[in-house]
Structure 1
């Protein structure tokens, strides 16, 4: 089920609240940020361990932060770099719109359709209770699938477009899973900026 039309949407689901803005950044801004981030980021290609098996993560990543606090998931520990001027500009606009503050940014580069992110939740202890995640997309659009952990009929999809913003709020990271699935279609790269707030644990 695709919940969203072409205009800004605010949707409340069981244990979750989402806001999707298709053209949060205009076409020129989006093209410029896509090029700068893709070319100037020090991308990592880490090993990931899932269900006891270790393999190369099917995407590239980078971490930026206001402090030196590390971020860990799936047996990967990332050390942040300082925010660049462009990333700070993006963060400022996201914070103004969302009325939230973020101190950490995890960026994913999906190089083609074989790069993906399997079913998961952003529920690490460092994110605290009911974290708010702000997701900005540049480049190729990709479907964002999400499903409730226990309510089987609650399965949805949003097409994350070039320059769009998705806010995930409420209890979503505890009650829902989400993914970016593989596709056999020949597609261009996508960059996904996920702003979050790390807390001391």
Structure 2
């Protein structure tokens, strides 16, 4: 099922990148764009509230919640197109995923600042499986400790990026503004909330 896997070792972690994981990414993109309950919540950054610079949805097994940037998100049911995909990801990666945070970047102005997925609900060594659909965008990583080399990956539509443990303990990642991108991008970040 996988094509062109690239392992990217990082000091204190690593990434596995599969360029062509989803067979028909534009079909899945359209189903999710039109069928998900997208929201644009307020988040707290450095003590100030801001409108999230993208649309989000949190889906997963019943009764799960996830808190980040001062907001608590409670799962909505898995959209039909993601149920089988979640099972496939668990089988292919060997990791369990009981929820997914979905981000809809409507164009190149929507973005995500540097952060780590290291909230207590994810445990000490989380694995994050990230699927990209739609417009190709740059994904940046930098060491938490400062210094060191910043990594940049261009994430293709239909690709899977697996951020292996303990990457979240040592690295931050971001999706910067990319002027001139008029198409949308949906990112599915599968995770296991304890």
TM-score (normalised: structure 1): 0.92
Q: Distance in 2 between matches of 1:25 and 1:115?
A: 23
Does residue 15 of the first structure (1) align with residue 7 of the second (2)? no
Partner of 2:83: 88
Q: Deviations over 1:87-110 (max 9, x none)?
A: 112112211210111001110000
**Count of aligned pairs:** 192
2:188 corresponds to which of 184, 189, 193? 193
Q: Deviations over 1:36-75 (max 9, x none)?
A: 0000000011011101211110000001111212111001
1:128 corresponds to which of 123, 129, 132? 123
Q: Unpaired segments of 5 or more residues in structure 1? A: 1-5
Q: Unpaired segments of 5 or more residues in structure 2? A: none
Moved over 6 A (4+): none
Q: For 2:43, what is the secondary structure of its paired residue? A: strand
1:24-173 alignment runs, 5 A limit: 24-26=21-23, 29-150=24-145, 152-173=147-168
* Contact 2:36/2:79 (8 A) holds in 1: no
1:167-182 alignment runs, 5 A limit: 167-182=162-177
* Contact 2:26/2:133 (8 A) holds in 1: yes
TM-score (normalised: structure 2): 0.95
* Contact 2:137/2:178 (8 A) holds in 1: no
RMSD after superposition: 1.2
